[in-house]
């Protein structure tokens, strides 16, 4: 049995299947860990969702910001003109079923010393703390308040975690940290608009994983989200978004031995 952690798919079903073929993935024996952003930008989001949902326990998925955006559209958010790649999903006869499945994916998965998350963890969060906060959001997504929650989710404020936060502000900060974080200050103030490479960090910030005293160093964090960082590996961190949709690669890491597999974008 092998476990393959895979970067942001973003609606590129053909690339995912080619990568799994390269890995010789056997859903009866192996597992895949997906770092989120299954959908959007590529043209095959519906195929990706159907395939991954159909894998059952062979696939572990954490939610990314694009996955949450799809749930927001399904809840009634007015779409942006650039998001037509999700129209096929929203019009599909099994859309409600797929959205029910997607909304019940976690924001953080922890297993055997690894923590799988879409974007990152604030420097002051331990992995157990992040798990507890992620569980607050997961409970909201599974509740009768899910639609109202999703329609109040978008925004960059507050930009810093405080334990005293309540309501939508509290949940929004948790979601933004786990699904959108790149740069932050030592006390966890997030620079949400910055999307460049690590050497373009806004003044006073660093990549979230660069702080020596980061509380989550007890685990190896596996994440995606940051295409301008690309595939990156250091002690305690594996970043897997290598920008397939932008002409880069879709990347898989075999957990057991660290072997890397890639298929190149167009």
pLDDT tens per residue, the chain (266 residues)? 999 999 999 999 999 999 999 999 999 999 999 999 999 999 999 999 999 999 999 999 999 999 999 999 999 998 776 667 899 999 999 999 999 999 999 999 999 999 999 999 999 999 999 999 999 999 999 999 999 999 999 999 999 999 999 999 999 999 999 999 999 999 999 999 999 999 999 999 999 999 999 999 999 999 999 999 999 999 999 999 999 999 999 999 999 999 999 999 86
Cα three-residue angle 175-180-186, rounded to 5 degrees: 90
Buried b / exposed e over 6-21, threshold 16 CB at 10 Å, is bbbbbbbbebbbebbe
Model pLDDT, residue 27: 96
CA distances from residue 95 to 57, 112, 116 in whole angstroms, order as listed: 21, 34, 26
Quote the Cα angle for 94-88-141, to 5°.
Answer: 55
pTM equals 0.96
C-alpha to C-alpha distance for 9 and 249, rounded to whole angstroms: 10
3-264 has which fold?
A: Purple Acid Phosphatase; chain A, domain 2 (3.60.21)
């Amino acid at each position: 049995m092998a476990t393959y952690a895979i970067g942001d798919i973003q609606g590129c079903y053909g690339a995912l299947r080619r990568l799994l073929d390269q890995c010789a993935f056997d859903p009866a024996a192996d597992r895949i860990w997906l770092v989120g952003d299954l959908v959007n930008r590529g043209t095959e989001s519906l195929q990706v969702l159907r395939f991954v949902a159909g894998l059952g326990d062979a696939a572990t998925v954490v939610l990314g910001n694009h996955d949450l955006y799809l749930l927001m559209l399904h809840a009634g958010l007015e779409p942006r003109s650039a998001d037509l790649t999700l129209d096929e999903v929203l019009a599909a006869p099994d859309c409600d079923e797929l959205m029910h499945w997607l909304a019940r994916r976690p924001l953080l998965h922890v297993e055997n010393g690894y923590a799988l998350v879409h974007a990152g963890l604030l420097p002051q969060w331990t992995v157990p703390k992040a798990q507890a906060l992620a569980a607050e959001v997961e409970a909201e997504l599974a509740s009768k308040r899910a639609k109202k929650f999703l329609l109040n989710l978008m925004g960059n404020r507050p930009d810093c975690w405080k334990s005293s936060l309540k309501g939508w502000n509290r949940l929004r900060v948790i979601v933004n940290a786990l699904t959108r974080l790149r740069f932050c200050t030592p006390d966890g103030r997030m620079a949400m608009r910055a999307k460049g490479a690590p050497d373009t960090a806004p003044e006073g910030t660093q990549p979230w994983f660069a702080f020596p005293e980061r509380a989550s160093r007890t685990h190896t964090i596996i994440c995606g989200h940051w295409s301008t960082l690309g595939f990156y590996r250091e002690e305690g961190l594996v970043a897997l978004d290598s920008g397939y949709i932008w002409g880069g690669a879709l990347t898989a890491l075999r957990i057991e031995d660290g072997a890397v597999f890639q298929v190149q974008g167009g």
